[in-house]
C-alpha cells in the first residue's frame, strides 16, 4: 500500500483508535459512529484494491473474532454483544489496513500520530488552565448523563484544568492513564527510531513523552515503563552476549525482578501514596471482586463479548458503581476476557498474544545489524500493552487491539511462502 491517500487513511485510522475518547467528547457517540463508519467504508475500498489474502489471518485472531460473534447466542445481553462483536470486527479490519504497510513505515507513522496527540494534549491542557481556570466537561454528554454542572463528578471531566497547579493532566483523551500509555508507546517508538538513525530532532521527541509521563503520574504506566525497560535490557543482552552469558544475565535479572517485586509489595502503601493512590488501587480490588462474581455465573464461555461495557445494557450498566461513578471495565484484561468469553476465550486470547509475540521476536532475530533497534519496537510495544492490561482493560479495544491484530497479521509466527506475503 504505497498511494498517498491510502497512507493518509492509515494515519487517520491510527488517530481515531488512539484518541477515540477525544472524538466522542467533542461530537458525541453519534458523531464518532459516523466517522468510524465512513473510515470503515474507505478502509474496505482500500483493502479490496490491495487484495490481501484473508487465508493468512492468524488462527488465534480468527478464533477470537468468531468466538465473540458466536457468544451472541448465549449472551446475557444479546444486542449489546452483537454490537460489541461488530465493533471488534471493524477494529480487525482497521488492523488489516495497517498491516498493508511495511512494518518500518507502520512504526514511523504510529510514532508521528502519537507524538501529535501528546503535543495537542499539552496545548489543550494549557488552554484549559489559562482560559477556563477549572474543569471542562465533554461538549456532548456521555450516554446516561443528561448534562454536566458544577456538582458533576470529577471523573466525568474532560480536563480538570490542573496543569498550572501541579495536578495530573488528562489531555485530549480525557484520562490521565490513557494519555500516559500513549506517552509510553511514543517513548518506546522514539527511542527505537532514534537508535536506528531514523528520527530527526530525536531529543525533542524523547522529551515530549517523558514530560507527559511526569504530568500524568500514572502508577499503571510507570509499572509498564519499568517492565519495558527490563525487557529492553534483556533484548540488548540477547543480541550482544554469548548464549551462556545471556542465560546468566537472564537469571540475574529474574532474581532482581523478584527482589524488586517483594520490595514493592512491602512498601506498596507508601509508593501508592506518593502517586496519590490508595491501598486498594483506587477501587480496582472492589471491581475485580464484582467481575469474578459475574464470571462464575458462566465460567466456561462467559456472558458474551461486549468489549468495553455498554452503559445501556444490564448487567454492565451498574455492575461496578463506586462513589456515584459507573465504571465500564474490569480494570484487567484477564478478568474482562474471563467474564465475557470464559476460560475458552481466555485461552484463545493468550494464544493470540503468544503467537504475535513469537512473530515479533522472529522479525527481530532476522534483523540486519542496523535495524535491530527498530525491529525491537513491536516486542516492546506488545510488552507495554501486556503490562497495561494488568490494571486496565483498554488493550482489548481500539489502539491496543488494532496494534495487536496488525502485528499478528504483518509479523506472522510461522514462515510464509513469497505468495502469502502481503505487499
Tell me the average pLDDT across 25-47: 94
Say which residue, 331 or 133, is predicted with more confidence. Answer: 331
Cell of 266: 512491602
Q: Can you say whether residue 323 is alpha, beta or left, with left for phi > 0 and alpha for psi between -120 and 50 degrees?
A: left
Tell me the average pLDDT across 194-223: 93
DSSP 345-403: HHHHHHHHHHHHHHHHHHHHHT--GGGHHHHTHHHHHHHHHHHHTTT--GGGSHHHHHH
- Beta carbons of 224 and 394 less than 8 angstroms apart: no
Compute the distance between CA of residue 423 and CA of residue 82 in angstroms, rounded to an integer.
33
Buried b (16+ CB within 10 A) or exposed e, 392-401: bbbbbbbbbb
Q: Is the pLDDT of residue 413 over 60?
A: yes
Closest Cα to residue 372, out of 191, 135, 222, 251? 191
Say which residue, 260 or 171, is predicted with more confidence. Answer: 171
Tell me the average pLDDT across 79-97: 95
Tell me the average pLDDT across 231-260: 79
Mean residue pLDDT across the chain: 88
Closest Cα to residue 135, out of 179, 165, 115? 165
pLDDT tens digit sequence for 43-85: 999 999 888 888 888 999 999 999 999 999 999 999 999 999 9
pLDDT tens digit sequence for 279-297: 445 567 888 999 999 999 9
Counting every residue, how long is the chain?
423
Tell me the average pLDDT across 106-112: 96
Closest Cα to residue 414, out of 352, 362, 354, 365? 362
pLDDT value, residue 93: 95
Tell me the average pLDDT across 9-17: 95
Model confidence at 324, pLDDT cuts 50, 70, 90, reads low
Compute the distance between CA of residue 75 and CA of residue 380 in angstroms, rounded to an integer.
35
E strands, 95-193, are none
Q: Is the pLDDT of residue 268 over 60?
A: no
Q: Is the pLDDT of residue 196 over 80?
A: yes
Compute the distance between CA of residue 113 and CA of residue 16 in angstroms, rounded to an integer.
10
Q: Is the pLDDT of residue 33 over 50?
A: yes
Q: Which residues contact 280 (CB under 8 A, 6 or more apart)?
A: 286
Say which residue, 272 or 174, is predicted with more confidence. Answer: 174
pLDDT value, residue 265: 62
Between 141-150, 204-213, 399-408, the lowest mean confidence (pLDDT) is in: 141-150
Q: Is the pLDDT of residue 1 over 60?
A: no
Cell of 144: 446516561
Compute the distance between CA of residue 168 and CA of residue 185 in angstroms, rounded to an integer.
19
pLDDT value, residue 264: 62
Closest Cα to residue 307, out of 284, 341, 282, 346? 341
- Say what angle helices 377-388 and 103-127 make with each other, to 10 degrees: 50
Residues above pLDDT 90, as percent of the chain: 61
Model confidence at 276, pLDDT cuts 50, 70, 90, reads low
pLDDT value, residue 274: 59
Q: Is the pLDDT of residue 405 over 80?
A: yes
Query: How many other β-carbons are positioned within 10 Å of the β-carbon of residue 211?
Result: 13
Tell me the average pLDDT across 300-305: 95
Q: Can you say whether residue 135 is alpha, beta or left, with left for phi > 0 and alpha for psi between -120 and 50 degrees?
A: beta
Cell of 185: 508507546
pLDDT value, residue 150: 73
Between 93-102, 216-225, 317-326, the lowest mean confidence (pLDDT) is in: 317-326
Compute the distance between CA of residue 219 and CA of residue 236 in angstroms, rounded to an integer.
26
Closest Cα to residue 402, out of 144, 147, 109? 109
Amino acid at each position: 500500500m504505497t498511494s498517498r491517500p491510502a497512507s493518509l487513511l492509515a494515519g487517520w485510522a491510527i488517530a481515531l483508535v488512539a484518541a477515540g475518547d477525544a472524538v466522542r467528547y467533542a461530537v458525541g457517540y453519534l458523531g464518532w459512529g459516523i466517522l468510524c463508519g465512513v473510515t470503515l467504508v474507505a478502509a474496505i475500498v482500500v483493502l479490496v484494491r490491495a487484495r490481501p489474502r484473508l487465508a493468512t489471518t492468524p488462527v488465534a485472531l480468527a478464533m477470537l473474532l468468531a468466538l465473540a460473534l458466536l457468544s451472541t447466542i448465549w449472551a446475557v445481553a444479546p444486542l449489546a454483544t452483537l454490537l460489541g462483536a461488530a465493533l471488534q470486527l471493524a477494529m480487525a479490519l482497521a488492523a488489516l489496513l495497517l498491516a498493508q504497510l511495511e512494518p518500518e513505515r507502520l512504526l514511523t507513522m504510529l510514532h508521528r500520530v502519537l507524538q501529535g496527540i501528546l503535543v495537542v494534549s499539552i496545548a489543550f491542557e494549557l488552554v484549559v488552565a489559562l482560559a477556563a481556570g477549572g474543569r471542562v466537561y465533554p461538549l456532548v454528554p456521555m450516554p446516561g448523563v443528561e448534562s454536566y454542572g458544577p456538582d458533576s463528578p470529577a471523573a466525568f471531566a474532560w480536563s480538570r484544568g490542573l496543569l498550572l497547579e501541579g495536578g495530573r493532566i488528562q489531555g485530549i483523551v480525557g484520562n490521565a492513564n490513557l494519555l500516559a500509555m500513549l506517552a509510553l508507546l511514543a517513548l518506546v517508538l522514539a527511542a527505537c527510531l532514534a537508535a536506528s538513525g531514523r528520527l530527526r530532532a530525536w531529543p525533542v521527541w524523547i522529551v515530549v513523552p517523558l514530560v507527559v509521563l511526569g504530568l500524568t503520574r500514572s502508577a499503571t504506566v510507570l509499572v509498564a515503563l519499568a517492565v519495558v525497560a527490563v525487557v529492553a535490557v534483556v533484548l540488548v543482552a540477547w543480541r550482544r552476549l554469548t548464549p551462556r552469558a545471556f542465560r546468566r544475565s537472564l537469571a540475574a535479572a529474574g532474581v532482581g525482578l523478584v527482589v524488586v517485586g517483594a520490595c514493592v509489595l512491602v512498601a506498596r502503601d507508601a509508593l501508592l501514596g506518593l502517586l496519590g493512590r490508595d491501598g486498594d488501587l483506587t477501587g480496582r480490588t472492589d471491581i475485580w471482586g464484582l467481575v469474578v462474581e459475574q464470571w462464575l455465573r458462566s465460567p466456561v464461555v462467559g456472558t458474551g463479548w461486549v468489549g468495553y461495557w455498554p452503559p445501556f445494557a444490564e448487567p454492565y450498566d451498574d455492575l461496578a458503581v463506586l462513589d456515584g461513578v459507573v465504571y465500564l471495565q474490569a480494570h484487567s484484561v484477564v478478568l474482562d476476557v474471563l467474564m465475557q468469553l470464559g476460560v475458552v476465550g481466555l485461552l484463545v486470547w493468550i494464544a493470540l498474544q503468544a503467537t504475535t509475540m513469537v512473530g515479533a521476536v522472529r522479525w527481530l532475530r532476522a534483523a540486519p545489524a542496523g535495524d535491530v533497534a527498530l525491529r525491537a519496537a513491536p516486542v516492546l510495544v506488545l510488552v507495554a500493552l501486556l503490562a497495561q492490561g494488568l490494571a486496565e482493560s483498554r488493550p482489548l479495544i481500539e489502539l491496543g487491539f488494532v496494534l495487536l491484530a496488525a502485528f499478528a497479521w504483518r509479523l506472522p509466527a510461522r514462515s510464509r511462502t513469497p505468495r502469502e506475503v502481503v505487499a
